[in-house]
Chain A
């Protein structure tokens, strides 16, 4: 079940703008993951973070594993229309918990 607080729930932005979303938890996790899901598809892993404080980039995406191990953020720079979708955070220790998702809409 969901034990992660993901925000915002949705975002409507203009193409070219930067995007930031985050997840917080009352529990500590060993791994933080960020996925993107397109309609009718399974989630695709974007970034995996394994150490507290770790900052990792994947193209225009940057994610960080919070120092307290209870939070993570994902930034998308210079958004493009194909960034549209739902972004899920996930924290993993013994099992994996998901956030409720951030629905991103990018206007051309």
Chain B
């Protein structure tokens, strides 16, 4: 149980384009989904928290117009990186909580974004 998938696993895009990353909880309904960014050899940095049907809550310093989050259902959240720049290149990981009525987060496998 508690499987979270992400798609795509890696993506290369050109500067100025937009990229959408999907996060799905495959075997449970996630009350909350989270989006993280991770730089090499560093811990996870929370970008935003989202609940189904409501607006995401962004962490300080994260531009909500640049990182658009849509939480359309209890099993799907998407992160769109708009007008991507090379400095947006990173490892993006989503997580979902709510499995078994607990609040611990289960993570997806991550998406490696490279902006050229």
Partners in one complex: yes
Chain A interface (Cβ within 8 Å of chain B)? Answer: 1-2, 31, 33, 35, 40-45, 48, 50, 88, 90, 92, 95-96, 98-101, 103
Q: Which chain B residues lie closer than 8 Å to A99 at the CB level?
A: 43
B107–A88 touching, CB < 8 Å: no
Given contacts A40-B112, A42-B6, A42-B93, contact A98 B106 (CB under 8 A): no
A92 to chain B, nearest CB (A): 6
B106–A31 touching, CB < 8 Å: no
Give chain B's interface residue range (CB within 8 Å of chain A): 20 to 34
B108–A42 touching, CB < 8 Å: yes
B44–A88 touching, CB < 8 Å: yes
A96–B6 touching, CB < 8 Å: no
26 inter-chain pairs at a CB distance below 8 angstroms, sorted by A residue, are A1-B45, A1-B59, A2-B43, A33-B105, A40-B110, A40-B112, A41-B110, A42-B4, A42-B6, A42-B109, A42-B110, A45-B2, A45-B106, A45-B107, A48-B104, A50-B102, A88-B43, A90-B105, A92-B104, A96-B46, A98-B43, A98-B44, A99-B43, A100-B42, A101-B43, A103-B41
